[in-house]
């Protein structure tokens, strides 16, 4: 069977410098083998080296401490030799070296922590059961310290990998299989998040190589040509959207065919913005069903979040009190008007409250929105302008470093806001909300959130709404901690703050 030519020969994505270039659509071998990419082997070896260095560093410290008789029982030579090996074996058994897990998501760190604690439990049990003379400091202090060092090292490796991926290297080539609209949406998401390491290189559409836009991915035939498209693009991942033609039996057969080419298949469940703990697989007579739990928007989880919010807000207000006073004096001294600016915003369940900020604009700025409407750079209900003439010189600096937002800690203490949550909208914005967008009002707005760590004012209206809805649907304490962790570099860089 002849393979159809792609509709476009140039893809709008960076070339994978570490992978093979797509081959011409000529005769295909019967059973090609896609080799593991060199960058994947180097990444695994680097992770292994970091793990060994972490435990060796801790052992070295213990040897120095014991040499000066500062603390603990002397370490035996056998333990010094065996411990790094046991550390690596424990991580390997915990599947912490799988290439698909390295550099992506929290699963890599979860496996590291689980493997390390498993090793500590094994050492403690062997020491007790076999009456081995193992120093308590080894289990209580040394191994946890090795774990911390290992996590820091793995995080450094991840940041290096993300920088390489943003440059177009170390990518996994992806063939998208689905409708034209689904392919365009997924390709756009992958292009916006290059650190994930997925590079779309082509697609297969149910209608075949139909004429598409000039910026579209090259099309390699219909669903009957998926295997040939994998061979021609060098794809190692096939992302599939379920449809009438791609039903369970066809998916199973496709997975069997892709095994010969060492390409994995991933299936989009078509559950937008539902991830992580909310999704469970419940088998029914061999049929895997995806169970989607209700969002954690009430009950004990909400009470716990509220308590943590107020405790954190009170602590920060006390700690930052001198800075807040200095900024208030600076605002009053550099422009006419009060130091604090109060503005009505909409909180949880549509309740209005007065949001507090350091004033960054000249007085009467809100009355000038009408005359600046033509310069609005937003594509939605917001008003955004890079060089807003209403902003004072000090206000521009405060916005760049998000210092104008600090008085909102008082709103958090009052229970009107959370430390982490969706962006607090204006009443005028809410009046123009579509029904789906109103779901972002199910939780308290936040001092920071996914919108802030993802670009702030550089985001489009659609992207801002999508991030807020994602947060509402998937809230957890772990997600809040992740956002807070990313807030610090986002504030320092000032990206999207104007």
Q: Which comes out higher in pLDDT, residue 301 or 56?
A: 56
Q: Which comes out higher in pLDDT, residue 9 or 383?
A: 383
Q: If you average pLDDT over residues 386-397, what whole number do you get? A: 80
| Token duo for residue 93 | 């058994």
Residue 386 has pLDDT above 70, yes or no: no
Tell me the pLDDT band of 490, cut-offs 50, 70 and 90: confident
Tell me the pLDDT band of 282, cut-offs 50, 70 and 90: low
Query: What are 312-324's pLDDT values in tens digits?
Result: 999 999 999 999 9
Residue 91 has pLDDT above 50, yes or no: yes
Measured in Å, how far apart are the chain's first and last C-alpha atoms?
57
**Average pLDDT value over all residues in the chain:** 78
Show contacts of 160-168: CB within 8 Å, 24+ apart.
161/43, 161/102, 161/103, 161/195, 161/197, 162/103, 162/195, 164/39, 165/194, 165/195, 165/196, 165/197, 166/194, 166/195, 167/14, 168/14, 168/15, 168/16, 168/17, 168/194, 168/199
Tell me the pLDDT band of 35, cut-offs 50, 70 and 90: very low
Residue with tokens 């901690």: 481
Q: Which comes out higher in pLDDT, residue 474 or 344?
A: 344
* 64-78, 112-126, 317-331, 478-492: range with lowest mean pLDDT: 64-78
Residue percentage of the chain with pLDDT more than 90: 21
For residue 3, the model assigns a pLDDT of 39
Residue 73 has pLDDT above 50, yes or no: yes
User: Of 458, 413, 208, which Cα lies nearest the Cα of 318?
Assistant: 413
Query: What are 293-304's pLDDT values in tens digits?
Result: 666 667 787 888
* 130-139, 162-171, 422-431: range with lowest mean pLDDT: 130-139
For residue 1, the model assigns a pLDDT of 39
Q: If you average pLDDT over residues 14-34, what whole number do you get? A: 36
Q: If you average pLDDT over residues 396-407, what whole number do you get? A: 88
Residue 82 has pLDDT above 70, yes or no: yes
Query: What are 465-483's pLDDT values in tens digits?
Result: 888 888 888 888 888 888 8
Q: Which comes out higher in pLDDT, residue 183 or 291?
A: 183
Residue 131 has pLDDT above 90, yes or no: no
Residue 426 has pLDDT above 70, yes or no: yes
For residue 362, the model assigns a pLDDT of 80
Which of 8-12, 71-75, 286-290 is predicted most confidently?
286-290
Which of 31-35, 67-71, 420-424 is predicted most confidently?
420-424
- Distance, in Å, from the CA atom of 354 to the CA atom of 352, rounded to the nearest integer, reads 7
| Token duo for residue 329 | 């004096």
Tell me the pLDDT band of 461, cut-offs 50, 70 and 90: confident
Q: How do 352-358 and 340-346 pair as beta strands?
A: antiparallel
Tell me the pLDDT band of 25, cut-offs 50, 70 and 90: very low
Q: Judging by beta carbons within 10 Å of its beta carbon (0-12, 13-18, 19+), is residue 27 exposed, middle or buried?
A: exposed
Residue with tokens 């915990």: 94
- Distance, in Å, from the CA atom of 228 to the CA atom of 313, rounded to the nearest integer, reads 58
User: Of 160, 75, 147, which Cα lies nearest the Cα of 115?
Assistant: 147
Q: What is the DSSP letter of 4?
A: P
Residue percentage of the chain with pLDDT more than 70: 73
Rg (CA), the chain: 27
* 112-116, 181-185, 226-230: range with lowest mean pLDDT: 181-185
Tell me the pLDDT band of 385, cut-offs 50, 70 and 90: low
Residue 410 has pLDDT above 90, yes or no: yes
For residue 314, the model assigns a pLDDT of 95
Q: Which comes out higher in pLDDT, residue 450 or 130?
A: 450
| Token duo for residue 89 | 């074996």
For residue 313, the model assigns a pLDDT of 95
**Helical (H) or strand (E) element with 448:** strand 446-448
Q: If you average pLDDT over residues 47-74, what whole number do you get? A: 76
Strand partners of residue 288: 283
- Distance, in Å, from the CA atom of 481 to the CA atom of 493, rounded to the nearest integer, reads 19
- Distance, in Å, from the CA atom of 306 to the CA atom of 161, rounded to the nearest integer, reads 36
Residue 409 has pLDDT above 90, yes or no: yes
């Amino acid at each position: 069977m002849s393979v159809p030519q792609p509709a476009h020969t140039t893809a709008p994505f960076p070339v994978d410098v570490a992978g093979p270039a797509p081959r011409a659509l000529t005769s295909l071998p019967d059973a090609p083998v896609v080799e593991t990419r060199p960058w994947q082997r180097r990444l695994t070896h680097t992770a292994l080296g970091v793990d060994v260095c972490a435990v060796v560093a801790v052992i070295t410290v213990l040897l120095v401490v014991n040499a000066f008789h500062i603390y603990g029982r002397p370490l035996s030579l056998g333990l010094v030799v065996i411990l790094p090996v046991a550390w690596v074996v424990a991580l390997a058994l915990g599947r912490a070296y799988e290439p698909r897990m390295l550099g992506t998501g929290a699963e890599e760190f979860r496996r590291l922590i689980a493997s390390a604690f498993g090793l500590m439990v094994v050492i403690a049990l062997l020491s007790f059961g076999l009456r081995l003379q193992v120093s308590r400091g080894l289990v209580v202090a040394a191994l946890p310290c090795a774990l911390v060092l290992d996590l820091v090292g793995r995080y450094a490796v991840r940041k290096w990998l993300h920088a390489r991926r943003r440059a177009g290297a170390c990518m996994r080539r992806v063939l998208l299989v689905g409708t034209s609209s689904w392919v365009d949406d997924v390709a756009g998401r992958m292009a916006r998040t290059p650190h994930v390491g997925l590079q779309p290189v082509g697609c297969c559409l149910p209608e075949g190589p139909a004429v598409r836009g000039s910026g579209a991915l090259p099309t390699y035939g219909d669903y009957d040509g998926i295997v040939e498209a994998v061979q021609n693009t060098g794809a190692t991942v096939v992302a599939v959207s379920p449809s009438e033609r791609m039903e369970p039996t066809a998916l199973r057969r496709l997975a069997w065919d892709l095994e010969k080419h060492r390409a994995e298949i991933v299936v989009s469940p078509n559950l937008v913005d539902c991830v992580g703990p909310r999704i469970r697989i419940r088998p029914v007579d061999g049929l895997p069903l995806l169970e989607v739990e209700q969002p954690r928007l009430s009950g004990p989880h909400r009470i716990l979040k509220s308590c943590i919010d107020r405790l954190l807000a009170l602590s920060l207000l006390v700690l930052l009190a001198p800075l807040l006073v200095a900024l208030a004096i600076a605002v009053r001294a550099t422009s006419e008007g009060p130091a604090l600016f109060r503005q009505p915003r909409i909180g949880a369940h549509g309740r209005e409250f007065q949001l507090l900020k350091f004033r960054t604009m000249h007085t009467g700025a809100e009355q000038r929105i009408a005359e600046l409407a033509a310069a609005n750079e937003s594509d939605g209900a917001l008003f955004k302008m890079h060089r807003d003439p209403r902003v004072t010189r000090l206000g521009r600096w405060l916005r760049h470093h998000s210092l104008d937002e600090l008085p909102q800690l008082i709103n958090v203490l009052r229970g009107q806001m959370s430390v982490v949550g969706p962006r607090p909208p204006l009443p005028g914005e809410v009046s123009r909300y579509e029904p789906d967008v109103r779901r972002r009002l199910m939780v308290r707005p936040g001092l920071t959130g996914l919108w802030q760590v993802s670009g702030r004012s550089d985001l489009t209206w659609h992207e801002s709404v999508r991030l807020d809805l994602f947060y509402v649907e998937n809230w957890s304490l772990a997600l809040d901690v992740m956002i807070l962790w990313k807030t610090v570099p986002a504030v320092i860089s000032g990206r999207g703050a104007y």
